[in-house]
Amino acid sequence: MKVVVLAGGTSTERDVSLITGAMIYKALKNNNHQAILLDVYLGYEGNIYDIFNLNIDWSEDISDIKESNPNLEYIKSLRKDKSNSFFGPNVIDICNKADIVFLALHGENGEDGKIQAAFDLLGIKYTGTDYTSSALAMDKAISKEIFSFYKIPTPAGIHLIKGNDFHWDKYPCIVKASRGGSSVGVSIANSSDEMETALAEAFNYGDEVIIEQYIKGREFSVGVIDGKALPVIEIAPLVSFYDYKNKYQAGSAVETCPADLDETISAEMQKIAEDVYKALRIKTYSRMDFLLNDTNNIFCLEANTLPGMTPTSLLPQEAQAIGMSFDELCENIIEISLKKYK
């Protein structure tokens, strides 16, 4: 099968996406697919006539994830055509030649439904969920409203638009960008002074933020594939909380799968993950993040419709716990994604 793995882009999660893409690309090659890895923004400027048969290692220039966010202005300066199009040179034409596009994008213009909607209009098949559920899950304010409607437990909070007045006096609290990912733009505020700093950081990533109660407890995640929950994984950051650095730097957190939990609590968390999958109309696969407080109350934080597939990512570890290798996981995602088109 001819498969384009689409990664990179211009979001704050660009580096994560490239590592995800490189891992998926190698797995698809192992599975004997004619796979290529493309940066959706930088594209490919060579001859595309026989591109799936070129003797190229498309992943050789991918480096490790850095501890800080990528310099997006520098990335944009690399674009030779100086076009305002999100799609780089030849990207659409190459994707049209593929049997399916494996989306390895994260964050804005990758996980928010825009590229899914564009591909639907262009008749390009892709992995993962559709544009509607992508948009719903990406917007934390909308997600929390849906969680409330379906009685899915989630931390209490407020939705704040830049420039509007608000009242909040419960500390500590969590302040985060409404449409961010990988904990980019997320802070813990312990006072009104820290709140100002946290809001300024969150507003760097958009005009809407979420302020919510701080839940002291253990952190977990549950992947869902084709509507069925995988084993629960626990994440124990060695320092601070599960922020951008702790998510992607090896050795920054201890991850245990299956999590050391009472079977009843584990089953309840899996059930909630499946309920979130249904409530947000997600298709194919996703990953839900949770907190468990000291009285065993479960809180769902958010859903990730294109979860990371890096060496330290959670979904591959959960799949491994049921005997599914990384190569098999990638193949399974393609098979389930193709059901959308039958």
The residues spanned by each domain of the chain are 2-126, 137-151+215-322, 157-213
**E strand spans, 148-199:** 157-161, 173-177, 186-189
Element (DSSP H or E) covering residue 124 = none
pLDDT tens track, the chain, 342 positions: 999 999 999 888 888 899 999 999 999 999 999 999 999 999 999 999 999 999 999 998 776 655 556 777 888 888 888 888 999 999 999 999 999 999 999 988 899 999 999 999 999 999 999 999 999 999 999 999 999 999 999 999 999 898 888 888 889 999 988 876 555 668 899 998 888 889 988 888 778 899 999 999 999 999 999 999 999 999 998 765 544 444 545 567 889 999 999 999 999 999 999 999 999 999 999 999 999 999 999 999 999 999 998 877 899 999 999 999 999 999 999 999 999 998
User: What is the distance, to the nearest Å, from the Cα of residue 7 to the centroid of all Cα atoms in its chain?
Assistant: 12
- Residue 173 near residue 213, CB atoms below 8 Å: yes
One-letter identity of residue 342: K
Please give the structure tokens belonging to residue 32.
């004997």
Distance CA 142, CA 281 (A): 13
CATH number for the region 2-126 comes to: 3.40.50.20
Residue 315's contacts (CB-CB under 8 Å, 6 or more residues apart) are 223, 230, 285, 287, 307, 308, 309, 329
One-letter identity of residue 190: N
Adjacency order of strands within the sheet including 173-177: 157-161, 208-213, 173-177, 186-189
**Residue whose pair of structure tokens reads 């253990």 in the numeric block:** 218
- Residue 137 near residue 282, CB atoms below 8 Å: yes
Distance CA 195, CA 199 (A): 6
In CATH terms, the fold of domain 157-213 is Dna Ligase; domain 1 (3.30.1490)
Instruction: Supply the pTM of this predicted model.
Output: 0.89
Question: Domain 137-151+215-322 - what CATH class?
Answer: alpha beta
